[in-house]
């Protein structure tokens, strides 16, 4: 599955002469956990024509028992996409500041909500060599209406079952998986049976996604074989979306557990494993 677009490919798609129906809608979703707000960065310079979308407000619901970044209200998400000019049959390209996590969250949400023509700018904005714009565009209203079901989703019980009967990948840093440190959630460790698979290992130099062959070999070494049911979680469902994207690039469909560790640890009766082994 083609999930990434190189900067040169995006530049070509945005060039004069591209038919309107094939000219991609570009979404700037710059966000970083604990980092500066994305909108001032967008206003300082963005890919020409790109529309800013706020991850916390439009790509996630309010934090609570469902985790720090639960799935957004469909009305809010749909309205944000239509405001940006997203139409069902027209390609969409999303980018962030280079880490890839926020862009993957937008990619996953659009794919889950029924849009099939979505790609992520490989390397994010740092890979873009064209001009930047400070103009805020006002595109025509799009027609996209979310229709969930395009990608599989796990709840807490489903994640626990998959850890027993398939492969559940933990996309957080290894030290958080092992329970050696937990800077955000109340409990350290991992879902019993989950396999450590840090998202940062999906990318190479310049933040570019590793090749499909490299990714396939990586996930095979983690136990992902033909026909293996696969799911992914992280802290709050953002970096795990990047793991789902990487798996898709390698030809593997994986389910996302949106609530992830922040939801799991909000339920005191849920078991926790620590150490380097799945447990």
| Tens of pLDDT, residues 45-78 | 999 999 999 999 999 999 988 899 999 999 999 9
Q: What is the pLDDT of residue 32?
A: 82
Q: Give per-residue pLDDT as tens, 181-216.
A: 999 999 999 999 999 999 999 999 989 999 999 999
pLDDT tens digit at each of 279 positions of the chain: 799 999 999 999 999 999 989 999 999 999 987 777 899 999 999 999 999 999 999 999 999 888 999 999 999 999 999 999 999 999 999 999 999 999 999 999 999 999 999 999 999 999 999 999 999 999 999 999 999 999 999 999 999 999 999 999 999 999 999 999 999 999 999 999 999 999 999 999 989 999 999 999 999 999 998 889 999 999 999 999 999 999 999 999 999 999 999 999 999 899 999 999 998
Q: Of the candidates 237, 241, 235, which has an alpha carbon nearest to the alpha carbon of residue 188?
A: 235
Can 87 be counted among the known catalytic residues? Answer: no
Label the pairing between strands 51-52 and 92-95. unpaired
Q: Which domains does the chain have, with CATH numbers?
A: 4-127 (3.40.250.10), 156-264 (3.40.250.10)
Label the pairing between strands 92-95 and 25-28. parallel
| Token pair of 138 as six digits | 């006002």
- When the pLDDT of each residue in the chain is averaged and rounded to a whole number, the result is 96
Q: What is the pLDDT of residue 237?
A: 95
Catalytic hit among 60, 120, 234, 240: 234
5 Cβ neighbours under 8 A, 6+ residues apart: 13, 93, 119, 120, 121, 122
Q: Of the candidates 49, 52, 55, which has an alpha carbon nearest to the alpha carbon of residue 16?
A: 49
Q: Of the candidates 150, 159, 139, which has an alpha carbon nearest to the alpha carbon of residue 117?
A: 150
């Amino acid at each position: 599955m083609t999930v990434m677009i190189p900067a040169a490919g995006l530049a070509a798609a945005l060039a004069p002469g591209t038919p309107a129906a094939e000219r991609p809608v570009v979404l700037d979703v710059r966000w970083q956990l604990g980092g500066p707000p994305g909108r001032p960065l967008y206003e300082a310079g963005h890919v020409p024509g790109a529309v800013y979308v706020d991850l916390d407000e439009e790509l996630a619901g309010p934090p609570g028992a469902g985790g720090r970044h639960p799935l957004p209200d469909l009305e809010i998400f749909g309205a944000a996409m239509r405001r940006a000019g997203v139409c069902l049959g027209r390609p969409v390209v999303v980018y962030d500041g280079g880490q890839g996590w926020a862009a993957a969250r937008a990619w996953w949400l659009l794919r889950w909500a029924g849009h099939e023509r979505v790609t992520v700018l490989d390397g994010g904005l740092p890979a873009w060599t064209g001009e930047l714009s400070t103009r805020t565009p006002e595109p025509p209203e799009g027609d996209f209406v979310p229709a969930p079901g395009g990608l599989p989703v796990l709840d807490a019980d489903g994640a626990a079952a998959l850890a027993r009967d398939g492969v559940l990948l933990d996309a957080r840093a290894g030290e958080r998986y092992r329970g050696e440190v937990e800077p955000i959630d109340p409990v350290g460790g991992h879902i019993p049976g989950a396999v450590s698979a840090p998202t940062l290992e999906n990318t190479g130099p310049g933040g570019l996604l590793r090749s499909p062959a490299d990714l396939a070999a990586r996930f095979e070494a983690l136990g992902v074989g033909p026909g293996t049911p696969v799911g992914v979680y992280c802290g709050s469902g953002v970096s795990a979306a990047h793991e789902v994207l990487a798996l898709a690039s390698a030809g593997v469909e994986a389910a996302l557990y949106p609530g992830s560790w922040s939801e799991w640890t909000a339920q005191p009766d849920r078991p926790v494993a620590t150490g380097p082994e799945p447990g």
